Amino acid sequence: AGAEVGPASGPAPEPAAGARHDEGWIGVEAALTLLSSPLGGMDAADLRRLGRALRDEERAAGIKVPAPSDVLLARALAEPERLTAHDPAYARGAQRLGQLLRKTREILQGGGTAEEALWTLWDGTSWPDRLERRARRGGAAGRNADRDLDAVCALFDTAARAEDRTGGRGALNFLEQLEAEDIAGDTLTGKATRTEAVRLMTAHRSKGLEWRLVVVAGVQEGLWPDLRRRGSLLEADRIGRDGLAEPLTPGALLAEERRLFYVAATRARERLVVTAVKAPAEDGDQPSRFLTELGVTPKDVTGRPRRPLAVPALVAELRATTVDPDASPALREAAARRLARLAALTDEDDRPLVPAAHPQRWWGLYEPTRSSVPLRDRERPVTLSGSALDQLANTCSLQWFLGREVKADAPSTAAQGFGNVVHVLADEVASGRTPADLAVLMERLDSVWDALAFDAPWKSRQEKDNARAALERFLRWHTTDRGGREAVATEHDFDVTLEAGEYAVRIRGSMDRVEADPQGRAYVVDFKTGKGAPTKDEVARHPQLAVYQLAVREGAVDEVFDGVRPEAGGAELVQLRQGAAQRDGGDAVPKVQAQQPPDGTWVGDLLATAAGRVLDERFAPATGKHCDHCSFRSACSARPEGRQTVE
C-alpha cells in the first residue's frame, strides 16, 4: 500500500548554486539591450530601481536568494503583466515595451512580415515623436535625429524590398540578410580630434595620453575587475612565439585588471572622478574593490541629479539662472558667460552646435506682435462651420486659429482620404448614381484606392479591409427601415445666418444626408469614419449636430421640402468604422448616436462664445484628447514640448 504524495507546501525550492535561471523567451542580453534602447527608453538608474524592486518582490514571495536582477528584468519583459503592481515611474517603460514585443511576436507567429513587425514596433513607442522634436530643434541633436530617421527609413525600405524579392520567406530570412551585409569601413584613417570637446574612449586607448580632468565611470564589482576568461572560441590569443601559452589564472587576470585601472586613473593631471553604484541590498550592484585602493574615502550621493546630464538641460538651467532674481549678480553673469561660450560653438561646417543657447532663439523674450487691422469686421456676421464651433468653444481656439486662419495645418492624411472616399460612395448610393451593391462599390473603391498615400503596403491593405467593412455597414444601414425615414438630399450645402446674443453668426457647411420622417420633419445624418466616438452625454450636446438642426429651423433645407420649412426632427452620427452594440445588431451594422432637437439656450450660448473669441482675437491654448493629433504641439505653450516659446 502507498500514499499519494501531493505538491509540497511552503515556498518554492531555490535553485542550486550555479544552476541556470529561466530567462524568459527574450533572454537577458537582448532584454537589457531593448530596455536601454530608444524603444524602451530606460536609463541605467531606472533599470537598477526596477531590478531591485523585482528582487524585493521575489524575497516577499519566500525566495531567500532571488535570481540576479538582469534575469528578473528579462522575465518581466517577457511577461509584462508582472509589472502592473510596480511604480510606473520606473516600470512603465518596461511594461509598455513588453506588451509591444508580445504583440509583435504574435504578428510574426501569425505569418506577418518583417515589415509589419517593424511598423508595429515603430508605431508603438514615443521614439518617432522624440526624433521629430529633435530634428525640428536643429543643432547637433537635430542632425543626429536626421541621421537616425534616415537609417530607419532605409531599414523599412530594405524590409519592403526583401519581402518582394524573397516572396515572403519570413522575418528570420530578413535578419539573416541584414547580418550578411558587409559594409566596408575605413578603420585605418585617423580622424581629426577636436581639442575643445570631451573624448570618450576605453582604458586601453587612453595609454600615453593625459587630460586635466578624467572621469572613470561604472567601476562596479564584476565589471572592473572583469575576471572572465578572454579570447575567442579557438583561443587564438594563446598562440605565441614559443607555441601555446597557458591560459591566464584568476590571479593573473586580477593583476591585469588592476594595471588597466591604474592606467585609467593616472591619465588625470589635476582631477580624477571615479563613479560607481551601490545598491541597498548586499547582493545588488556594488562598487569595485579597486575603489578602496585609491586612498580616498568614496562620497555617497543619493537620489537623482537636479537635472538630466544633457546639453538641453544645461542650457535650460543656465537660462533660468540668468533671469533668477534670487541669484547673485556674479552667478547670473557667470551663467550668461557660459551661455555665450555654448552659443559660439560651431562644427566643421560652421553650424552652431548649441543653437538654443543664443538669445535669438529665446522666443519668450520677443514682444507679442500686434496688428492695427482687426481679424474680423465686428459689423459683419462671423462666418463659422459646425466643426469650427466645436474647436472654438469646447476644445482649443488656438488650434482653430492656426489651422483655419493661418492655414498652417498639416496636409491631408491617408485617414482623411479614407473618409472622403467612403463619403463619396455613400453619396453615390443615396443619390441613385451607384447601385447598393458591395461588389460595385468595391470596384469603384479599387479605381481610386492607389491614389491614397499610405506609409506601407500592409497599411494600405489593412485600411482597405476597414473601408470594405465600413461600406458593408453603410449598405446594411441604408437598406434597413429607419422608422419610415426617406432620403431627400445628400451632400446638401447650406448657408444661414443665426442670431447669438449680441453677435450674428453665419453658418456654412454641408449635410451628408437629409431625410424626411413620416411626420414631415427633417432629420440630418452625419457619417463618421474616424476611430473614436463621443459619449452619450457628448452626443446630446454635440455642436455640429445642433448647428445642423438650427440651420433646418432657419430654412437650410426648405428647397428639398418643396419650399416648405420643416420642423427639425433630430440628427444622428453614423459611425461607419465602428460596429453597434450586440443588442443593436452587432458589428455588422454601424453604431448610431442620435441627438434630439436641441432645447434651451445652450446652442446659442455656444455660438456667442465662439463668435466672441474670434472678434476679440484671443486664442488661448487648451489641453485635452485633441492634442494627440494636433500639428502645433511643438509650438504650443500649454504642452511640455512647446513651452520654449514662452519660457
Residue 81 has pLDDT above 90, yes or no: no
The per-residue pLDDT for range 57-69, each reduced to its tens digit, is 888 777 888 888 8
Backbone phi and psi for residue 297, each to the nearest 5 degrees, phi listed first = -85, 125
Residues 6+ apart with CB under 8 A from 616: none
CATH fold for domain 200-229+248-301 = Double Stranded RNA Binding Domain (3.30.160)
The answer to whether 214 and 267 have CB atoms below 8 angstroms apart is yes
Closest CA to 44 of 35, 56, 53: 35
pLDDT band at 144 (very low <50, low <70, confident <90, very high): confident
> Is residue 645 within 8 Å of residue 635, measured between CB atoms?
yes
Considering 35-44, 194-203, 324-333, 372-381, the range whose residues carry the highest mean pLDDT is 324-333
Q: Is the pLDDT of residue 242 over 80?
A: no
What pLDDT score does 471 carry? 94
Confidence of residue 21 (pLDDT cuts 50, 70, 90): low
Where are the domains positioned within the chain? 28-173, 200-229+248-301, 311-361, 414-609
Range with lowest mean pLDDT among 37-46, 268-277, 462-471: 37-46
Q: What is the pLDDT of residues 526-547, one digit of tens each?
A: 999 988 889 999 999 999 999 9
- pTM beyond 0.75: the answer is no
| pLDDT at residue 231, rounded to an integer | 54
Q: Which residue has the higher pLDDT, 13 or 445?
A: 445
Give the chain's radius of gyration (CA, Å): 33
Q: Is pLDDT above 70 for 626?
A: yes
Q: Which helix (H) or strand (E) holds 577?
A: strand 568-579
> Per CATH, the architecture of 28-173 is what?
Orthogonal Bundle (1.10)
pLDDT recorded at residue 241: 63
Strands 568-579 and 243-244: unpaired
More confident residue, 85 or 517: 517
> Strand 522-528 relative to strand 568-579: parallel, antiparallel, unpaired?
parallel
Among the residue ranges 300-304, 396-400, 502-506, the one predicted with the least confidence is 300-304
CATH of domain 414-609: 3.90.320
Give how far Cα 578 sits from Cα of 372, 490, 531, 543, Å.
49, 22, 7, 21
The length of the chain, given as a count of residues: 647
pLDDT at 224: 83
pLDDT for 183 equals: 54
Residue 55 in this model has a pLDDT that exceeds 90:
no
- What integer pLDDT is reported at residue 573 of this predicted model? 95
What is the pairing mode between strands 503-516 and 486-500? antiparallel
Task: List the beta strands (DSSP E) in 352-416.
Answer: 382-384
Q: Which ranges constitute the DSSP H helices of 12-87?
A: 28-35, 44-60, 69-78
pLDDT band at 181 (very low <50, low <70, confident <90, very high): low
pLDDT digits (tens, 9 = 90+) for 596-610: 998 878 888 889 988
User: Taking 70 as the threshold, does the pLDDT of residue 195 lie above it?
Assistant: no
pLDDT at residue 303, rounded to an integer? 76
Owner of C-alpha cell 436641441: 598
Residue 167 pLDDT > 80, yes or no?
no
pLDDT at 13: 41
